Structure 1
Amino acid sequence: MNGEFPPPVAARGPACSIRNRAVTWAREMAGLTKRALAACVGISEQLIGEIESGWRSATRANLGKIAEALNCPLVAPERRRHHIPSER
């Protein structure tokens, strides 16, 4: 693997696709198998595979555990708030 972010894969939506690809990329960069990551996180290898493929979304708690196991920051996208000037 050359360290580049992987190409998109089919998933439930754009945000889900990006998050799942990030988990796969970070796991591979850490040199871990799905089985090894699952053991570190305390979930099944099948669930790791489903999260990476986009069939299931990881809970916030599991995302935190995955990020910790991969020594990665947990970044959650936030909806941008538009400033509406007050009327005077």
Structure 2
Amino acid sequence: MWSSLWLIWKIGDERCITLVGYIIFNKGVEQLGASKASIYLNLTPIVTTLISVLLYSSTMTWKQTIGMCMVLIGVYIATTNTTSKNENIALHE
């Protein structure tokens, strides 16, 4: 009985954390705009993995670490290219 109650609590806890994350993301969309905020949605798996390591004592594999690095590089490239394109467009107008 206790294991089933724990499972129900854990599933509810994970859904609540995910819901809070998406509420915060939607507030970011309101402030930054959809195009800029959507780039940072790619950080969700990284934050999820780090939270699971900190709160649930999960272990992180080397594949996850490489994946995190790839996501961070992709977000960096998308952010810097977007910024430089916007500056170029503003200069030509």
TM-score scaled by length of structure 1: 0.28
Larger radius of gyration: 2
TM-score, normalised on structure 2? 0.28
